[in-house]
Structure 1
Amino acid sequence: MGLGPWEEIDVQDVWTGSPALSPPIGAPLPGRLAKPRREGLTVVMDKGLGLAATRDVLEVAAAHVDLWKLAFGTAALYPARLLQEKIALVRSYGVDPYPGGTFIEAAYLQGRVPAVFAYVRRMGFAAVEISDGTIRLARHERRALIRAAREAGLRVLAEVGKKDPDRQPPPEALAEQGLLDLEDGAEYIIVEARESGKGVGIYDKAGEVKEDSLAVLAGALPVDRVIWEAPQKPQQQALILRFGANVSLGNVPPGEALALESLRQGWRGDTLALVT
């Protein structure tokens, strides 16, 4: 079958985003939810992009990114005006920015949580991550942090798990904590995997999914309220194959957001193979 003659492209179509330039085929794996959505979230982990680099990612991938995390405690290191500009930029593309959980853990250690929640709101962040990946929080302290964040008008993402590979709680404990956090008002539960995705949470030291741990968590928690940190492509693929295109994934490198969406929709060989 011939491909047919080349057609002349109308320059006006290019500038207006005319449907004439949309691909004449649909996603190989149908059913992917469009924004705004409550599941199938993509959470980017930004370790320090400037405004130009942030804009570049958003121009290409904002339609496929839901939350934008300023990793670790990096939110404390930006010049104030630049941070405000960056937060406003991210929000202008329909993406909700938030500071990493370590930022709030440091606030807790310094007894400055109320002031930091007020600061987070003032700077324009949309959410906070409540975690005890490094510190220790009693049940009532964690509950109080979640409720205080909600009262401050912030979305709450509650992370379960420890950052130290030698201090990993059993998956049953993570599931129990996640259920309590949801009961206390958290919007989503994040399952810790760190930047490396190795030796933490549902991953072994090589970064492979521990199926037994995954099964425990998936069996106990409402999967549509879980964000699985999955910084590596094989991890993203494994979770998509397990839960489908609308599984929520976090710690995605900014430059990999479009590649992840390709996996979700079947535009990569790894998932296109499912329809062959």
Structure 2
Amino acid sequence: MDKGLSSRQAEDMIETSGDHIDIVKLGWATSYVTSNLDKKLAVYREAGIPVYLGGTLFEAFIMRNQFDEYRRVLDKYNLSHAEVSDGSLVMDHDKKCEYIRTLTDQVTVLSEVGSKDAEEIIPPYKWIELMQKELDAGAWKVIGEAREGGNVGLFRSTGEVRSGLVQEILTKIPMEKVLWEAPQKEQQVWFIKLLGSNVNLGNIAPNEVIPLETIRLGLRGDTFDHFLKAESK
């Protein structure tokens, strides 16, 4: 997650961590107030790393009935990916799926499921239903909401994983179709132990990409003997 890096900071991140980054999200609506956005996007493009704008920016356009204007923004910046979300506003789900279907003709779509409101608890069956409908509408991957802090959606306010929710989602939705937002180290460790080194994790801070890679490889205490035990069985 790029929350407002300069182009030079993006270059530094790519130099040290680029081999471990599949895609970059410009967090929430930070792209709208980022200076020299074109220059930074060019840095990512040259490195072969796709970029998408945070879902909150999409919602800001939708709230103002400016979907076509949003599509023009994607073209203006030559973006290949986009996020469709409804975490900050109430949106009819059929309408959300319509947005996904329309955008798939233009870009690769990631759709986010879950509310940014910590008081709104969505039951597991509903998560599954929403995710499946969005995948059927053409979403490349569905994102499990957690926010930057990792304290809503998939997680309790303490940051603890709602493990029953995750396990139930996985009974119906293939793990490779889900990008789990997991900004906290303990959350990353939990998902890697459950689903393996290649699990899709998002909302990773730039300075946490390398530490996360060591967790994936069993080169940090948290997973040091986890994979060795698995191999010895």
With the shorter chain as reference, the TM-score category is: over 0.9
Shift, 1:142, TM fit: 0.7
CA RMSD of aligned residues (A): 1.1
Shift in Å, 1:171: 2.0
Number of the residue aligned with 2:168: 216
* 1:19 counterpart residue number: none
Q: Equivalent residues in 2 for 1:1-276 (5 A)?
A: 45-79=1-35, 82-152=36-106, 154-198=107-151, 200-274=152-226, 275=228
- Which 4+ runs in 1 deviate beyond 3 A? none
* Secondary structure of the corresponding residue to residue 228 of structure 1: strand
Which secondary structure does the structure 2 equivalent of 1:91 belong to? helix
Post-superposition shift, 1:209?
1.1
Deviation at 1:261, TM superposition (A): 1.0
**Counterpart-to-counterpart distance in 2, 1:266 and 1:126:** 33
Paired with 1:222 and 1:162, the residues of 2 have a C-alpha distance of 21
Letter matched to residue 252 of structure 1: I
Q: For 1:203 and 1:119, how far apart are their aligned partners in 2? A: 32
Structure 2 runs not aligned, ≥5 long: none
Rounded to whole Å, the distance in 2 between the matches of 1:270 and 1:264 is: 10
CA offset digits 1:67-86 (Å, max 9, x no partner): 1011111111123xx11111
Q: Offset at 1:140?
A: 2.2
Structure ID, larger Rg: 1
SS in 2 for 1:168: coil
Deviation at 1:249, TM superposition (A): 0.3
Q: For the Cα contact (< 8 Å) 1:130–1:158, is it kept in 2? A: yes
* Contact 1:75–1:99, Cα closer than 8 Å, also in 2: yes
| Alignment partners' CA distance in 1, 2:75 and 2:185 | 33
Partners of 1:171 and 1:197 in 2: how far apart? 18
Identity rate, percent: 35
Equivalent residue letter for 2:108: R
Do the aligned partners of 1:66 and 1:96 also contact (CA within 8 Å) in 2? yes
Distance across 1 between alignment mates of 2:2 and 2:217: 24
Aligned equivalents of 1:62, 1:117: Cα separation in 2: 28
Aligned length: 228
RCO higher in structure (CA 8 A, sep ≥6): 1
Output the TM-score relative to the length of structure 1.
Answer: 0.80
